[in-house]
């Protein structure tokens, strides 16, 4: 699991629920990364499904998640 920390990846937002503020990004290798809306870098707290993004990975609330999510 520690090998998953600090990765710099690109992918596509494959799910996002505005109500619960949770989503998933599928990276270019097919791995799925969960995220919370506070990890969207522009501060909007919402993101479109299908958006192409770049992100890093970090330990958040008992798991490794996508953070610092930005347009690719």
pLDDT score recorded for residue 3: 81
pLDDT per residue over 8-46, tens digit each? 999 999 999 999 999 999 999 999 999 999 999 999 999
pLDDT score recorded for residue 61: 83
Q: Is the pLDDT of residue 53 over 90?
A: yes
Q: Is the pLDDT of residue 2 over 90?
A: no
Give DSSP secondary structure letters for 42-63.
TS-S---TT-EEEEEEEEETTE
Structure tokens at 24: 């998933």
Q: pLDDT band at 1, cuts 50/70/90?
A: low
Cβ neighbours, 10 Å, residue 28: 11
């Amino acid at each position: 699991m520690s090998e998953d920390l600090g990765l710099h990846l690109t992918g596509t937002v494959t799910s996002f629920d505005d109500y619960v503020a949770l989503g998933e990004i599928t990276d270019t290798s097919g791995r799925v990364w969960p995220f919370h809306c506070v990890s969207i870098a522009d501060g909007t707290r919402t993101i479109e499904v299908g958006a192409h993004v770049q992100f890093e990975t970090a330990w958040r609330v008992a798991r490794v998640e996508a953070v610092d999510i930005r347009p690719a």
